[in-house]
Amino acid sequence: MGERKKYAIIVAAGSGTRMGGDTPKQFLSIGGKPILRHTIEQFLSLSFPVGIIVVLSPEKKAWWKQYCTDTGFLERYAVPSGGITRFHSVSNALQYLPDDTVVAIHDGVRPFVTTEFLEKMFAAGEEMGNAVPACPPVETVREVSGPESYVLRRDDIRLIQTPQVFRSEVIKAAYKLPYDPSYTDDASVAEAAGYRINLVEGLRYNIKITTPEDLEIARLRLGKATLASRD
Ligand code: C5P
């Protein structure tokens, strides 16, 4: 699996306001465990070692540490503090990333990523310098402009997921750029820094748990998987 050491930056410092409620979605429980733990566990079950960096908000660090102690989920990873936006959270985490490595940057709220998919993404990112998972939309897409709307060519659209994998020198160079609100993921930062983005086929059920509906779908899926593994 490539030459370079592998790292994962798992971003979990968001406040999750789109979900409603006080607890950010990455700490909500499914199948008896917080979503963030399910996500981290996928990286811990890879066939090669991965250095893990979990970005948490300063307010949630103590809570998470206590949870890990209470449940024996030992912290074998660095825990930098999150920033005001996802860009700032990733930027803080990159301080912990050694040079000449390859890194997968992943949303803490995507627990359905599989080990096979992670291995495929690590290999693609190491080989090409960057690799970004993408799925075609199944629904028709329209662009809105004030009261008007226009249909777009669905075949030309892709929905972008994480993990997005980069050689360390690529992503560190990209994050030297000043913040811009158009940066909603790491590929948009790398693209602004002049890198051509390589799309790789995404995993349709690698959903980003964002709304109460997503949480309900996630509970059905992970709850079922947890019950099956107890049989
Ligand atoms: O806000 P958004 O939906 O883009 O969040 C995607 C991921 O980035 C989530 O896992 C969230 O916890 C994380 N995030 C972060 N720091 C922020 C905002 C979001 O780590 N300031």
142-155 tens-digit pLDDT:
999 999 999 999 99
**pLDDT score, position 74:** 82
Which residues are 9's β-sheet partners? Answer: 53, 105
CA proximity to 14, closest of 42, 33, 35, 30: 35
CA 141 – CA 193 distance, rounded (Å): 28
Q: pLDDT per residue over 181-213, tens digit each?
A: 999 999 999 999 999 999 999 999 999 999 999
Phi, psi of 56 (to 5 degrees): -125, 155
Q: Does ligand 1 have an atom closer than 6 angstroms to the CB of 83?
A: yes
Provide the token pair at 124.
Answer: 């693609």
Provide the token pair at 214.
Answer: 């997503």
Assign 23 a pLDDT band (cuts: 50, 70, 90): confident
- If one counts the domains in the chain, the total is 1
Assign 19 a pLDDT band (cuts: 50, 70, 90): low
Closest C-alpha residue for ligand 1 atom 5: 14
CATH number of the domain where residue 40 is located? 3.90.550.10
Q: Does ligand 1 have an atom closer than 6 angstroms to the CB of 108?
A: yes
CA 13 – CA 80 distance, rounded (Å): 10
The dihedral of CA 61, 67, 68, 73: what is its sign?
negative
Least confident range of 36-50, 74-88, 108-122, 211-225: 211-225
Continuous H helices in the chain: 35-44, 58-71, 86-94, 115-128, 168-174, 186-192, 212-230
Q: Does ligand 1 have an atom closer than 6 angstroms to the CB of 57?
A: no
Provide the token pair at 34.
Answer: 């917080």
What percent of the chain shows pLDDT beyond 90? Answer: 88
Q: How far is the CA of 131 from the centre of ligand 1 (A)?
A: 20
Which residues are 200's β-sheet partners? Answer: 133
Q: How far is the CA of 122 from the centre of ligand 1 (A)?
A: 21
Q: pLDDT per residue over 97-140, tens digit each?
A: 999 999 999 999 999 999 999 999 999 999 999 999 999 999 99
CB 83 within 8 A of CB 175: no
- The parent domain of residue 39 ranges over 5-230
Q: Does ligand 1 have an atom closer than 6 angstroms to the CB of 107?
A: yes
Contacts of 219 (CB under 8 A, 6+ apart): 30, 31
Assign 17 a pLDDT band (cuts: 50, 70, 90): low
Q: pLDDT per residue over 64-74, tens digit each?
A: 999 999 999 98
pTM for this structure? Answer: 0.95
> Is pLDDT at 230 greater than 60 in this prediction?
no
Q: Does ligand 1 have an atom closer than 6 angstroms to the CB of 19?
A: no
